[in-house]
Amino acid sequence: MQAAVYRGAGNVELCSVPVPEIGKGELLVRVDSCGVCATDIKKIEHGLLPPPRIFGHEIAGTVVSVGAGVTRLVPGDRVAVYHHVPCRSCFYCRRKLFSQCEAYRRTGTTAGFVPAGGGFAEYVRVMDWIVETGTVRIPDHVSFEEASFLEPLNTCLKALGTAELAAGEVVVIYGQGPIGLLLTQAARCQQALVVGLDLMDRRLQTARELGAVLALNPKRDPVETALAELTDGRGADLAILATADPGAVLDAQKIVRRGGRVLLFAQTVPGEIIRVDASRICMEEKRLIGSYSASIEFQSRSADLIFRREVQVARLVTHRFPLANLMEAIRLASHPSDDSMKVVVKPCENS
């Protein structure tokens, strides 16, 4: 089969590799769609992990074969696949810190080499523990592209849960790219008032269409004044950084009210140092928190919101690439144009 193999920082090659062999309790899935995620982009661009690997974890496709003992799924089933599932019984799982579970940190989908997702290949092996609790059937009326958003939407629902977002609260979301717009819609579904910030006018317009009460360009618009009018002068209850801009942290600390929260969502490069105003944490009792990856507790909710189209994801896909053009897809996703949003790889489109 064809696969886009990571060979080192900024280097991905289209290669012919063996179709993964599956064992007892496992699946082989033919990948139709795999979203390009910022975490994979960082790993590839910064060379964060040793090669070779096949990345890609926002996976949706068709079951082509099943291992011994698999009865819940059959060849021909359309599925979305998570790549991490927690044990649910360890120290961290008992505290609902599922992404810190040792079992969760094992990647359960692979197209070869060290398991790293495998969605940037024509076929992916789904390991037994993922088959049991991390594989979701796709209804007939839902496209593969829509279903590939299950895992990223889950991460957004987890973030809102971690931040304890309540109905009626005002949340500012920095960045209205694909993840920012998922956060905007998910917060709207929880009856929050969303203020979206971005530098691109088209993204701001999309944010308004998808439920933001305000969509502002912080380089041009008076964000603090608008928030003061919306909150009787207090400031936002919550700010979420769906952008990796390290300078946004200080700004977010400033615009949330006393006792408010700032949640880091996109700060995933190890060793990255950011500036914070410690006095706002201490004297103004503003919390600085983080959220990473998905939660098993939000799998059903994520599927329901997408399958019922309460969260609109199809309109977020603007560009599709074959495997051979993965580096072009990564460049576009990491340096978006005015007309780009979510980038999806279609591994089997020309096969």
| Helices and strands in the chain: count of H runs, count of E runs | 12, 16
Residue 12 near residue 329 (C-beta atoms within 8 A): no
Give which of 241, 198, 202 is closest to 217, Cα–Cα: 198
Please give the distance of CA 63 from its chain centroid, rounded to a whole number.
Answer: 23
Confidence of residue 351 (pLDDT cuts 50, 70, 90): low
Using DSSP's 3-state secondary structure scheme, residue 319 falls into: strand
The pLDDT value given to residue 306: 98
pTM equals 0.96
How far is it, in rounded angstroms, from Cα 109 to Cα 107?
Answer: 6
pLDDT tens for 51-90 read 999 999 999 999 999 999 999 999 999 999 999 999 999 9
Structural domains of the chain sorted by starting position, each given as residue range(s) with its CATH number in brackets: 2-149+313-345 (3.90.180.10), 154-290 (3.40.50.720)
How far is it, in rounded angstroms, from Cα 235 to Cα 229?
Answer: 9
The pLDDT value given to residue 233: 97
Give which of 52, 36, 110 is closest to 328, Cα–Cα: 36
pLDDT tens for 244-274 read 888 899 999 999 999 999 999 998 878 889 9
